[in-house]
A and B are shown apart, each in its own frame.
Chain A
């Protein structure tokens, strides 16, 4: 048998298993973090430290009755949760977990991730539209306008990294940050002293945008419970809702891993010691913890505030950053 086929099948199975386990762990972690931030304990009774909580939730969601609301577009209603899941899994194709652990080493890896990840918005719109529910449609429209607004500064800051490193290959971007934390793109003292001014701002913009792209609080206008029942998945029961959540957590992981690869040295150790998958996961889960920390600390923004932040602040700053990057690459 062709070893290439075995490799592909192995990766697909591993990635799907990883996405599911990752979502289960992140839901548990989110509830624990939320609990401790609110001076509670969080899940504690189901398994040691409540670690089996997500599995109980999974069993419950899978055995729940499936309801297709009256007047809904049945095909689109059923396709939308899968469309959330598929691009989330496909994004893992190019993410380098370590030097050896990457499904594909593509020279336009960064572009590919952005291209696939934008399908996610389409799925949210379809889900909201197909449910035949006014709140779902309103929140789907919100999610789309939010994603369009935050895609632009995110791409522009990604371009500053691409200009600086000279490649869109994620593996090469990580390899270029070898040595120690002074070579990481967030604060590249070792490589280009001018970029020290630009890159921290780029990182900040990129991180904020990746949080807004994945509809996380304080930017979760798409699922504002106080105004829109439950957002675009108002009409989804059981595992349809579960798939929306799996997709969201997979996207959070992808956003944080992109931040880590582009700015925080990917799988490189802070002093050039023992590079490997453990550093990558450590950094990614730390960033995910920061995302959760912000979610349970800040209240939800208003919708105008959200769009103004993108169009009036982040886009001008990121454009200015781009010009500055070009200048510094030329000068230093």
Chain B
């Protein structure tokens, strides 16, 4: 979804496209950017026990110009939404968005009558690629989300999927 606005090239080389997709999938640099409690789980994912850097996704870049994936980690207040939109628009293509946690998916516990301050879901104003449910999701879930995004970019999954039960 994130690459929609790039026009497809006139001549396509399948091998080259695959190589580029592999390169992109294996170096997803997230934006250093946390909104609420889910950001703590995001930090835990980058730290010793879970180590997001194993997949090349551990380089949290502070500048939007240098990052590839925006992890919307937490509750989006109406005041924060324009800033998030600006950050997203400052990222160069190709870019992806991960909505981490129930608040970023649909507003989570903040959906009730008379609620005035919360945007109910990141997909109201951003093209979200991967939704990761949980309140907050565990770090394993974020890693699974990153793998899911890699699958979306390259078309093949890194490891066999683990079935529940």
**Interfacial residues, chain A to chain B (CB-CB below 8 A):** 31, 35, 38-46, 50, 52-53, 55-60, 63-67, 225, 229-230, 233-238, 241
Contacts and interface: CB of A to CB of B under 8 A. Distances in A.
7 contacts: A31-B59, A40-B48, A53-B26, A58-B23, A59-B20, A60-B23, A229-B63
Given A40-B51, A42-B53, A241 B26 contact: no
Contact of B66 (A40, A55, A56, A241): A241
A237 B95 CA distance: 12
Contacts of B56: 43, 45-46, 50, 53, 56-57
A43 B66 CA distance: 19
Contacts of B37: none
A176 to B, nearest CB: 43
B157 interface: no
B54 interface: yes
B90 to A, nearest CB: 8
B131 to A, nearest CB: 24
A45 B32 CA distance: 22
Contacts of A31: 53, 58-59
Contact of A65 (B23, B48, B92): B92
A67 B92 contact: yes
B92 to A, nearest CB: 4
B161 interface: no
Given A45-B55, A45-B158, A64-B92, A56 B61 contact: no
**B interface, how many residues as a size bin?**
20 to 34
A56 B66 CA distance: 15
Interface of B: 6, 19-20, 22-24, 26-27, 32, 47-48, 51, 53-56, 58-59, 61-63, 65-66, 68, 92-94, 158
B65 A241 contact: yes
Contact of B53 (A39, A43, A230): A43
Given A42-B53, A225-B62, 17 more contacts: A31-B53, A31-B58, A41-B51, A42-B51, A43-B54, A46-B55, A50-B54, A52-B26, A56-B56, A57-B27, A59-B19, A63-B20, A65-B92, A66-B92, A230-B61, A230-B66, A233-B66
Most buried by A among B20, B26, B47, B58: B26
A236 B66 contact: yes
Given A237-B65, A237-B66, A56 B27 contact: yes
A66 B61 CA distance: 17
A229 B62 contact: yes
A257 B65 CA distance: 33
A63 B23 contact: yes
A227 to B, nearest CB: 10
A50 B57 CA distance: 12
Contact of B93 (A39, A55, A65): A65
Nearest to B90: A67
Given A31-B53, A42-B54, A67-B92, A236 B65 contact: yes
Contacts of A64: 68, 92-94
A64 B2 CA distance: 13
Nearest to B23: A59
